[in-house]
A and B are shown apart, each in its own frame.
Chain A
Amino acid sequence: GQQLNQSPQSMFIQEGEDVSMNCTSSSIFNTWLWYKQDPGEGPVLLIALYKAGELTSNGRLTAQFGITRKDSFLNISASIPSDVGIYFCAGRQSGYSTLTFGKGTMLLVSP
Protein backbone atom coordinates (compact mmCIF):
# COMPACT_ATOMS: atom_id res chain seq x y z
CA GLY A 1 0.00 0.00 0.00
CA GLN A 2 0.88 3.66 -0.06
CA GLN A 3 3.09 4.96 2.76
CA LEU A 4 3.65 8.58 3.74
CA ASN A 5 6.22 9.69 6.29
CA GLN A 6 5.42 13.02 7.83
CA SER A 7 7.91 14.95 9.95
CA PRO A 8 8.42 16.28 12.45
CA GLN A 9 5.88 14.55 14.67
CA SER A 10 5.48 17.69 16.76
CA MET A 11 6.86 21.20 17.03
CA PHE A 12 6.77 23.76 19.82
CA ILE A 13 7.68 27.26 18.66
CA GLN A 14 7.45 30.88 19.67
CA GLU A 15 4.92 33.21 18.10
CA GLY A 16 6.44 34.94 15.08
CA GLU A 17 8.73 32.07 14.09
CA ASP A 18 8.57 30.36 10.72
CA VAL A 19 7.68 26.66 10.54
CA SER A 20 8.59 23.94 8.06
CA MET A 21 7.25 20.42 7.82
CA ASN A 22 7.40 17.76 5.14
CA CYS A 23 5.96 14.58 3.82
CA THR A 24 7.98 11.94 2.01
CA SER A 25 7.44 8.62 0.31
CA SER A 26 9.41 6.05 -1.63
CA SER A 27 6.68 6.10 -4.28
CA ILE A 28 5.68 8.68 -6.87
CA PHE A 29 2.64 10.80 -6.13
CA ASN A 30 0.60 12.90 -8.54
CA THR A 31 -1.44 14.83 -5.96
CA TRP A 32 -0.43 16.39 -2.66
CA LEU A 33 -2.86 18.00 -0.23
CA TRP A 34 -2.26 19.74 3.08
CA TYR A 35 -4.89 19.88 5.82
CA LYS A 36 -5.16 21.43 9.28
CA GLN A 37 -7.20 19.83 12.04
CA ASP A 38 -8.29 21.56 15.23
CA PRO A 39 -9.04 19.37 18.29
CA GLY A 40 -12.34 17.54 17.94
CA GLU A 41 -13.00 18.89 14.44
CA GLY A 42 -12.66 17.64 10.89
CA PRO A 43 -9.58 18.49 8.81
CA VAL A 44 -9.76 21.64 6.71
CA LEU A 45 -8.11 21.74 3.31
CA LEU A 46 -5.32 24.32 3.16
CA ILE A 47 -3.52 23.78 -0.14
CA ALA A 48 -3.78 21.38 -3.09
CA LEU A 49 -0.87 20.64 -5.44
CA TYR A 50 -1.07 18.79 -8.76
CA LYS A 51 2.19 19.39 -10.63
CA ALA A 52 5.79 18.56 -9.79
CA GLY A 53 7.64 21.72 -8.75
CA GLU A 54 4.40 23.60 -8.11
CA LEU A 55 4.61 26.22 -5.37
CA THR A 56 1.29 27.48 -3.98
CA SER A 57 0.51 29.99 -1.26
CA ASN A 58 -2.52 30.55 0.93
CA GLY A 59 -1.87 33.61 3.10
CA ARG A 60 1.08 32.84 5.36
CA LEU A 61 1.15 29.23 4.19
CA THR A 62 3.23 28.01 1.26
CA ALA A 63 3.38 24.43 0.00
CA GLN A 64 5.52 22.83 -2.65
CA PHE A 65 5.15 19.68 -4.74
CA GLY A 66 8.64 18.17 -4.73
CA ILE A 67 10.42 17.94 -8.05
CA THR A 68 11.00 14.18 -7.59
CA ARG A 69 7.21 13.74 -6.99
CA LYS A 70 8.06 11.78 -3.84
CA ASP A 71 7.73 14.60 -1.35
CA SER A 72 5.94 17.79 -0.40
CA PHE A 73 6.68 20.64 1.98
CA LEU A 74 4.58 23.09 3.96
CA ASN A 75 5.91 26.34 5.37
CA ILE A 76 4.12 28.70 7.73
CA SER A 77 5.58 32.16 8.09
CA ALA A 78 5.29 34.41 11.14
CA SER A 79 3.29 31.91 13.20
CA ILE A 80 0.46 33.07 15.44
CA PRO A 81 -1.34 31.27 18.29
CA SER A 82 -4.29 30.25 16.09
CA ASP A 83 -1.89 28.20 13.93
CA VAL A 84 -1.98 25.60 16.71
CA GLY A 85 -3.32 22.27 15.50
CA ILE A 86 -2.38 19.11 13.65
CA TYR A 87 -1.23 19.44 10.06
CA PHE A 88 -1.75 16.45 7.79
CA CYS A 89 -0.34 15.77 4.40
CA ALA A 90 -2.28 13.56 2.01
CA GLY A 91 -1.27 12.22 -1.35
CA ARG A 92 -2.59 10.21 -4.22
CA GLN A 93 -0.06 7.79 -5.59
CA SER A 94 0.22 7.29 -9.31
CA GLY A 95 -2.04 4.38 -10.25
CA TYR A 96 -4.20 4.63 -7.14
CA SER A 97 -7.64 6.21 -6.92
CA THR A 98 -7.77 7.20 -3.23
CA LEU A 99 -5.69 9.31 -0.84
CA THR A 100 -3.19 8.22 1.79
CA PHE A 101 -2.70 10.39 4.86
CA GLY A 102 0.42 11.04 6.89
CA LYS A 103 0.21 10.74 10.68
CA GLY A 104 0.32 14.48 11.17
CA THR A 105 2.55 17.17 12.67
CA MET A 106 1.28 18.69 15.90
CA LEU A 107 2.12 22.38 16.07
CA LEU A 108 2.12 24.30 19.33
CA VAL A 109 2.73 28.06 19.36
CA SER A 110 3.71 29.93 22.47
CA PRO A 111 2.51 33.57 22.68
Chain B
Amino acid sequence: DGGITQSPKYLFRKEGQNVTLSCEQNLNHDAMYWYRQDPGQGLRLIYYSQIVNDFQKGDIAEGYSVSREKKESFPLTVTSAQKNPTAFYLCASSPWMQGASYEQYFGPGTRLTVT
Protein backbone atom coordinates (compact mmCIF):
# COMPACT_ATOMS: atom_id res chain seq x y z
CA ASP B 1 0.00 0.00 0.00
CA GLY B 2 1.66 3.23 -1.18
CA GLY B 3 1.22 6.34 0.88
CA ILE B 4 2.44 8.77 3.46
CA THR B 5 2.60 8.01 7.16
CA GLN B 6 2.90 10.50 9.97
CA SER B 7 3.44 9.64 13.57
CA PRO B 8 2.24 10.09 16.17
CA LYS B 9 -1.35 11.19 15.49
CA TYR B 10 -1.46 13.22 18.72
CA LEU B 11 1.51 14.74 20.52
CA PHE B 12 1.63 16.66 23.77
CA ARG B 13 4.62 18.65 24.95
CA LYS B 14 5.53 21.15 27.60
CA GLU B 15 6.53 24.64 26.59
CA GLY B 16 10.26 24.98 26.08
CA GLN B 17 10.79 21.46 24.74
CA ASN B 18 11.76 20.63 21.20
CA VAL B 19 9.66 17.98 19.49
CA THR B 20 10.18 16.04 16.26
CA LEU B 21 7.33 14.95 13.98
CA SER B 22 7.88 11.99 11.70
CA CYS B 23 6.93 11.74 8.02
CA GLU B 24 7.65 8.79 5.73
CA GLN B 25 6.55 8.16 2.13
CA ASN B 26 6.82 5.13 -0.15
CA LEU B 27 5.48 6.83 -3.27
CA ASN B 28 8.99 7.36 -4.64
CA HIS B 29 8.31 11.10 -4.81
CA ASP B 30 11.24 13.46 -5.05
CA ALA B 31 9.65 16.33 -3.14
CA MET B 32 8.30 16.49 0.40
CA TYR B 33 6.60 19.30 2.30
CA TRP B 34 5.51 20.36 5.75
CA TYR B 35 2.43 22.49 6.28
CA ARG B 36 0.81 23.97 9.32
CA GLN B 37 -2.98 24.26 9.61
CA ASP B 38 -4.77 26.41 12.17
CA PRO B 39 -8.57 26.45 12.66
CA GLY B 40 -10.33 28.22 9.81
CA GLN B 41 -7.09 28.72 7.92
CA GLY B 42 -5.65 27.31 4.77
CA LEU B 43 -2.41 25.38 4.73
CA ARG B 44 0.75 27.36 5.26
CA LEU B 45 4.06 26.03 3.99
CA ILE B 46 6.81 25.59 6.58
CA TYR B 47 9.61 23.84 4.66
CA TYR B 48 9.98 21.80 1.51
CA SER B 49 12.63 19.60 -0.04
CA GLN B 50 13.01 18.78 -3.70
CA ILE B 51 15.91 16.40 -3.25
CA VAL B 52 17.85 14.54 -0.57
CA ASN B 53 20.16 16.75 1.52
CA ASP B 54 18.52 19.94 0.30
CA PHE B 55 15.53 21.90 1.58
CA GLN B 56 13.99 25.35 1.29
CA LYS B 57 12.18 27.62 3.72
CA GLY B 58 8.49 28.16 3.13
CA ASP B 59 6.35 31.07 4.30
CA ILE B 60 6.55 30.36 8.06
CA ALA B 61 9.90 28.60 8.70
CA GLU B 62 10.85 30.51 11.86
CA GLY B 63 11.04 28.21 14.88
CA TYR B 64 11.14 25.02 12.80
CA SER B 65 13.92 22.85 11.38
CA VAL B 66 14.01 19.89 8.99
CA SER B 67 16.38 17.32 7.56
CA ARG B 68 16.25 15.17 4.43
CA GLU B 69 18.81 12.40 4.77
CA LYS B 70 16.74 9.84 2.89
CA LYS B 71 14.31 10.22 -0.01
CA GLU B 72 11.57 8.52 2.01
CA SER B 73 11.84 10.59 5.18
CA PHE B 74 11.40 14.28 6.05
CA PRO B 75 11.18 14.85 9.82
CA LEU B 76 10.14 18.24 11.21
CA THR B 77 11.44 19.60 14.51
CA VAL B 78 9.34 22.19 16.29
CA THR B 79 11.78 24.11 18.44
CA SER B 80 11.20 26.08 21.62
CA ALA B 81 11.68 29.23 19.52
CA GLN B 82 8.32 28.68 17.79
CA LYS B 83 5.97 31.08 19.58
CA ASN B 84 2.66 29.34 18.83
CA PRO B 85 3.45 25.68 18.17
CA THR B 86 0.01 24.21 18.92
CA ALA B 87 -1.45 23.30 15.53
CA PHE B 88 -2.26 20.50 13.09
CA TYR B 89 0.83 19.57 11.06
CA LEU B 90 0.54 17.99 7.63
CA CYS B 91 3.24 16.32 5.60
CA ALA B 92 2.91 15.91 1.83
CA SER B 93 4.90 14.57 -1.10
CA SER B 94 4.80 15.08 -4.83
CA PRO B 95 6.65 14.51 -8.05
CA TRP B 96 9.02 17.38 -8.85
CA MET B 97 9.31 18.11 -12.54
CA GLN B 98 10.77 21.00 -14.51
CA GLY B 99 11.54 22.85 -11.30
CA ALA B 100 8.03 22.75 -9.87
CA SER B 101 5.61 20.88 -7.67
CA TYR B 102 2.65 19.04 -9.09
CA GLU B 103 -0.06 17.00 -7.38
CA GLN B 104 0.69 16.79 -3.70
CA TYR B 105 -0.45 13.85 -1.58
CA PHE B 106 -0.94 14.28 2.14
CA GLY B 107 -0.40 12.18 5.22
CA PRO B 108 -3.02 11.89 7.99
CA GLY B 109 -1.52 14.71 10.07
CA THR B 110 -0.15 15.14 13.59
CA ARG B 111 -1.97 17.29 16.11
CA LEU B 112 0.58 18.93 18.40
CA THR B 113 -0.50 20.50 21.65
CA VAL B 114 2.02 22.49 23.69
CA THR B 115 1.09 23.64 27.19
Binding site for B on A (CB under 8 A): 1, 4, 6, 31, 33, 35, 40-45, 48, 88, 90, 92, 96-99, 101-104
Give Cα A92 to B96, complex, Å: 13
A96 proximity list for chain B (CB < 8 A): 100
Across the interface, name the chain A residue whose C-beta is closest to B101.
A98
Interface class of chain A by DSSP: loop
In the assembled complex, B102 has its CB within 8 A of some CB on chain A: yes
Q: Chain B at the A interface: mostly helix, strand, loop or mixed?
A: strand
* A3 to B38 alpha-carbon distance, docked (Å): 17
B104 interface neighbour in A41, A45, A97, A103, Cβ under 8 Å: A45
Q: How far is the CA of A99 from the CA of B100 in the complex (A)?
A: 9
Given contact pairs A98-B48, A104-B42, A48 touches B103 in the complex (Cβ within 8 A): yes
Bound Cα distance A103, B4 (Å): 23
Listed in ascending order, the chain B residues whose CB lies under 8 Å from chain A are 4, 6, 33, 35, 40-45, 48, 58-59, 88, 90, 92, 99-109, 111
Q: Which residues of A contact B102 (CB under 8 A)?
A: 31, 48, 92
A31 to chain B, nearest CB (A): 7
Q: Shortest Cβ distance from B112 into chain A, in angstroms?
A: 13
With contacts A1-B59, A40-B109, A43-B90 known, is A99 near B42, CB below 8 A?
no
User: Which of A6, A42, A97 has the most CB atoms of chain B within a 10 A radius of its CB?
Assistant: A42
Which residues of B have CB within 8 Å of A42?
Answer: 4, 6, 90, 92, 106-109
B107–A33 CB distance below 8 A: no
How many Å from the CB of B72 to the closest CB on chain A? Answer: 17
Residue of B58, B101, B111 near A40 (CB, 8 A) is: B111
Taken together as a complex, chains A and B put the C-alpha atoms of A97 and B107 apart, in Å, by 21
Which chain A residue has the least Cβ–Cβ distance from B9? A40
Identity of the chain B residue whose Cβ is nearest the Cβ of A31 in the assembled complex: B102
Q: How far is the CB of A32 from chain B (nearest CB, A)?
A: 11
Chain A residues, Cβ within 8 Å of B92: 42
Contact assessment for A97 and B99 in the assembled complex, using a CB-CB cutoff below 8 Å: yes
Does the CB pair B99–A99 fall under 8 Å? no
CA A68 – CA B60 in complex, angstroms? 30
